[in-house]
Amino acid sequence: MDYLAGLNPEQKAAVLQIKGPVMIIAGAGSGKTRVITYRVAHLIRSRVDSFNILVLTFTNKAAREMRERINHICGPEAKNIWMGTFHSVFAKLLRVEADKIGYPSNFTIYDTDDSKSVLRAILKEMNLDDKLYAVNFVLNRISAAKNNLISWQAYQKDEQIQSEDHANRRDLLGKVYETYAQRCYRAGAMDFDDLLFKTNELLRDHPDVTNKYQHKFKYIMVDEYQDTNRSQYMIVKRLAAVNENICVVGDDAQSIYAFRGANIQNILNFEKDYPDLKVFKLEQNYRSTQNIVNVANSIISNNKEQLKKNVFSEKEAGDRIKIMRAFSDNEEGKMVADTIMQDRSTNGMKWHDFAILYRTNAQSRSMEEALRKLNIPYKIYGGLSFYQRKEIKDLIAYFRLTFNPNDEEALKRVINYPKRGIGDTTVDRIIVAADKNNITPFEVVLQPNYYIEKAPASLSAFAAMIQSFQVLAKNQSAYEAALYIAQHSGLLKDLYVDKSIEGVNRYENIQELLNGIKEFSEREDIEEKGLDVFMQDIALLTNDDKDKNKDADTVSLMTIHSSKGLEFPQVFVVGLEENLFPSQMSLNSRSDLEEERRLFYVAVTRAERKLSISYATSRFKFGTLINCEPSRFLDEIDAKYLELDFSAKPQQSSSFFDDERNAWSRKDTNTKTDAYKPKPATTPPPVKTTSILAKAHVVSNDFKISDTSNLQVGMQVEHERFGFGKVINLEGNKPDVKATIFFKEIGQKQLLLKFAKLSIINGIE
């Protein structure tokens, strides 16, 4: 029991409570991972069979770290735990049970690029407008449906959804969803959302399978429960229904993923599902100084919808939080870069001790320019990963085709790479023949002369090559099979002969991939070492696993969403301006605004020792310099924790700048200043939902239908349903003038003015 000695009383109580439903509310930096780890170790020490423990996380990195710690305490038993991300664990389960829902056990897992490729082909075949049916929009729509457990059949029958699509002139979205689902099924492929959607389908339609895993997983733990969506919630609820030994860990104050389906109500209402719930609150922050913790508390206290807790720190008070004002976004970048250079020199810090966090990716430009001018090394976190590079995806496509010849996307990617005389016309004929005969494209390739007139001989040679790879892969290690495929596909030779800088880099990247496969082949902690197992591992990588240079000594630049789970000695949170942070899109409802505030809370709590927050009084937006006002969130911070740095002077005079500067010139920072006071706020009305997939626009309190007889291109308007927009075209004669308006929330629409009911909110920009 020595592993319990280092826990504080609340952590220890949570670890020892192993029976029944448990919720652990873990504040930022409160030792959450340690508690989960020791709780699993304690289960094993309490003679719970490790095969009966299920631990679900949101990153492979978290699962790896926990398993290593458990192994240190419990030894080899740690290998038997079903532990990993939702997607990796249930992909493993589906490999065993896939035949029950009509899939092969060697199904391919499509990444986002694969899914987009399938959708592009479908949209082209259906001759749909690529503006109305933009690939990203369609994919997000299908993803949202799956995360809410809406099948394509249910999508087409749902009156609200169909009405919504019709209003947006996207009546064929349901048909696109149907075709996409059927195309994936034919290819023996699942996308990431399918891994959970199909698991729900399996558990719903096969009681014998549900019963099997309910009795197998007698103890269930879920990390980051505040980030779960409906699909994940239903899987966990079903599996825990028999034993109810379920423990969820999370922090509602860090729920920031509603845009990708996360539902904060899962954690807020957990007690309704389990009335006998025992709740433990981890409130001591071991990461940050007292001042940083106090600032975070003052921010999040403004949210109405939350689980109350009192986070505290016993570390030193530390520096006050610096508020920096810049005249422009470029000047903001310069201030941040200068501070990094000075603090690194003064305090003997490393470059990787610093992080710059922003609300949107576009904000990185001014930061990058300033860092480059001072020769400060930096890395954009979440950029192009190693496994997204073209040459890597090409070789992996050969691997995929080897294990699943029905994989249409892999086939199209490599059938003529390296070039073997199979042009786009031939590929199109293959796809048409497959559709016509209701078979897979590879089946056409196996008998090209039967299905295609004047088929090139290289098709048969290609099919024979893939079949030889299949035979070899069954009997060789992952590395031997991978090297053989790289060589005999011609890919390795094609890259080797290209002596350009890019060609050499691509060849080296392939060698790096092969080195990684060799390392995998020699691992002692896994039993199955085939290339197919390696393929599943990389298909399920999360962003934290894909970064090959994460230990480099560079300043980290990233969006706040990407920073969750990370920590840095010194953090800069930039761009604290109204309509940027909080974003303009979040000002329509209290729930959206509260999520923005939680995002700010996450940003602040990434800092260990020093925190700086900056904003600019002007910023370029769509090529136009606009005046900015400080974020309302800044006014929510108690001024006694702040240090004001207004050394940057505006280069022009204006009443706004003067008023702001005068307000902040007060010497007594122990009194709360009104410098950041936003415009008077009113409580927004409840949000009305048009369907489970989308929210309706919440109209402004001063909304009033305007006379549109003199409406002009460039004017800003508001519509009761479609929200805020800009007039981009007018056509026709009175009284039948039609206005084309680009609405920020739903895109472009054409309205007949005499029926449109618009409120003109200002003149031409």
pLDDT digits (tens, 9 = 90+) for 518-545: 878 877 666 677 888 888 877 776 555 5
Same domain, 522 and 580: no
**Residue 698: pLDDT band by 50, 70, 90 thresholds?**
low
Q: Is 33 known to be catalytic?
A: yes
pLDDT at 667: 32
Is there a contact between 380 and 364 (Cβ–Cβ < 8 Å)?
yes
Neighbours of 201 (CB within 10 A): 15
Confirm if 337 and 373 have CB atoms less than 8 A apart.
Answer: yes
Q: Which two tokens stand for residue 655?
A: 């009443």
The residue length of the chain stands at 765
* Residue 720 reports pLDDT greater than 60: yes
The rounded distance, in Å, linking the Cα atoms of 430 and 249 is 50
Q: Does one domain contain both 554 and 611?
A: yes
Active-site residue, 164 included:
no
In SS3 terms, 750-761 reads as: EEEHHHHCEEEE
Query: 223 catalytic, yes or no?
Result: yes
Q: What mean pLDDT do residues 301-319 have?
A: 90
- Residue-level pLDDT at 765: 52
Q: Are 530 and 465 within one domain?
A: yes
Query: Cβ(138)–Cβ(120) under 8 Å?
Result: no
Residue in 114, 164, 223, 252 annotated catalytic: 223
Sign for the CA dihedral angle at 654, 655, 656, 660 comes to positive
The answer on 64 and 205 residing in a single domain is: yes
pLDDT, position 294: 94
Query: Which CATH number covers residue 721?
Result: 2.30.30
Helices (H), 75-223: 86-97, 112-125, 135-147, 152-157, 159-167, 173-186, 192-205, 207-216
Domain termination residue (choose one: 282, 299, 326): 282
**Domain that residue 490 falls in:** 389-540
d(CA 115, CA 191): 7
Catalytic residue among 10, 12, 17, 33: 33
Domain boundary among 644, 673, 703: 644
Closest CA to 180 of 115, 124, 239: 115
Same domain as 486, residue 404: yes
What's the pTM value of the predicted model, to 2 decimals?
A: 0.73
Res 600 pLDDT > 50 = yes
CA distances from 120 to 130, 175, 748 (A): 9, 14, 21
Residues 6+ apart with CB under 8 A from 658: none
CA 428 to chain centre: 34
Q: How far apart are CA 137 and CA 379, in angstroms?
A: 29
Q: Which residues are annotated as a binding site?
A: 26-33
Q: Is 688 a residue whose pLDDT tops 50?
A: no
Same domain, yes or no, for 408 and 479?
yes
Whether 428 is in a domain gets the answer yes
User: Are residue 549 and residue 640 in the same domain, yes or no?
Assistant: yes
Considering the domain architecture, whether residues 203 and 227 belong to the same structural domain is answered as yes
Which CATH number fits the domain that encloses residue 206? Answer: 3.40.50.300
606 given a catalytic annotation: yes
- 650, pLDDT greater than 60: no
Question: Given a cut of 90, is residue 413 above it in pLDDT?
Answer: yes
More confidently predicted of 618 and 550: 618
pLDDT tens digit sequence for 355-371: 999 998 878 888 988 89
Can 112 be counted among the known catalytic residues?
Answer: no
Query: Percent of the chain at pLDDT above 70?
Result: 89
Instruction: Write the DSSP assignment of 293-313 as a string of letters.
Output: HHHHHHHHTT-SSS-----B-
Tell me the binding residues for ATP: 26-33
Say what the pLDDT of residue 733 is: 82
- The pair of three-digit structure tokens given for residue 110, joined into one six-digit string: 């499509």
Mean pLDDT of 293-313: 91
Indicate which residue of 97, 164, 194, 224 is catalytic. 224
pLDDT band at residue 761 using 50, 70 and 90 as cut-offs: confident
pLDDT of residue 447: 92
Average pLDDT over residues 261-286: 92
Which residue among 644, 676, 709 closes a domain? 644
Number of domains in the chain: 5
